[in-house]
Amino acid sequence: MALFSTIICCINLTENSNDIVQYTRDIAKIDDARVIVVHALPSTAHLLNYVTSRSMVESILDESKARTEKFLKEFVEKNFAGLKAEPLLMSGNPAGKYRYADGRYVFIEKSGLVHLENGTISGSSKYVLFGIGNLVEKLGLPMEDVIVMSALVPARVLGLEATKGSILEGKDADLAVIDDNYESIATYVEGSLEYDVNHKEDLMNPEAKKYLVEAY
C-alpha cells in the first residue's frame, strides 16, 4: 500500500537542494506519487508603490519571474524525468485561505505555516529576513555567508549577478537596511530610497489577491 499520493518538495534551486530532490524522487518512484516542486519567492510588489519609473520596475520583475519560471521548469524536467511532477511558484502572502486555478485550497496560518485542505504541510510563507534570522541566530551561520545565500545566489540564478546581489563598484546600489530583529527599516533601489518603515502601505502581492478567499 502506498504511503504517499502527493509529495510537496520545497527547493531553493541551488546545489543544497540535491539531497531533498533525490529523497523525494526515490519515494515518488516507490509510491507512484505526484510531486509538486515548490520554490517560494519573497513578494516584490511593494517596490511598485515607491518608484518613479513604475514601468521599468514592472519590466524587471516580469523578466525575473519569467527567468525563474523557466529555470524551475527545466529543473523539474531534468531532476524528475519520468515522474508525475509539476512546478509551483509561490510568493510571500499574508495569512488566509487561497483558492488556486486548479480548484485546490491552500491555507496560510499566522505562524507562516502553509498547508492543504487535508492538513498536508505545503511549506512556509515566512519572508526572507525571517529565514536569515533563523540561519544566523539558531544555526549560528556567519551573516556574511547567509547574505551570499539570500542575495548573491538568487541574483546568479536569475542571471542578474552582473548588476545585483552584492555591493561592488559598478553594480546597482540595491540595498536593504535591517534592524537587530531582522526587520526591514529601509530599501534602496539603484541608490534611491524607495521604502521607509515609517510610511505604512499595503504590501500584499497584487497577483496573490485574486486567489485570496478569506483573510485571517
Which has the higher per-residue pLDDT, 96 or 38? Answer: 96
- The whole model's pTM is what? 0.50
Closest Cα partner for 36 from 68, 62, 11? 11
Report whether pLDDT(203) > 60: no
User: Which residue type sits at 82?
Assistant: G
> Quick one: pLDDT band at residue 210, thresholds 50, 70, 90?
low
Residue-range domain boundaries for the chain: 143-199
Beta strands in the chain (DSSP E): 6-10, 34-41, 85-91, 96-99, 105-108, 113-116, 121-124, 175-178, 184-189, 192-196, 212-215
> Quick one: pLDDT band at residue 166, thresholds 50, 70, 90?
very high
Which has the higher per-residue pLDDT, 133 or 44? Answer: 133
Q: Is 136 helix (H, G, I), strand (E, B) or coil?
A: helix
Give the C-alpha separation, 152 to 181, whole Å. 22
The pLDDT tens digits for 47-96 are: 555 455 556 656 666 676 677 777 778 888 888 888 887 666 555 567 88
Give the C-alpha separation, 106 to 96, whole Å. 8
3-state helix, strand, coil in the chain (%, to 5): 35, 25, 40
Rounded mean pLDDT, 5-23: 76
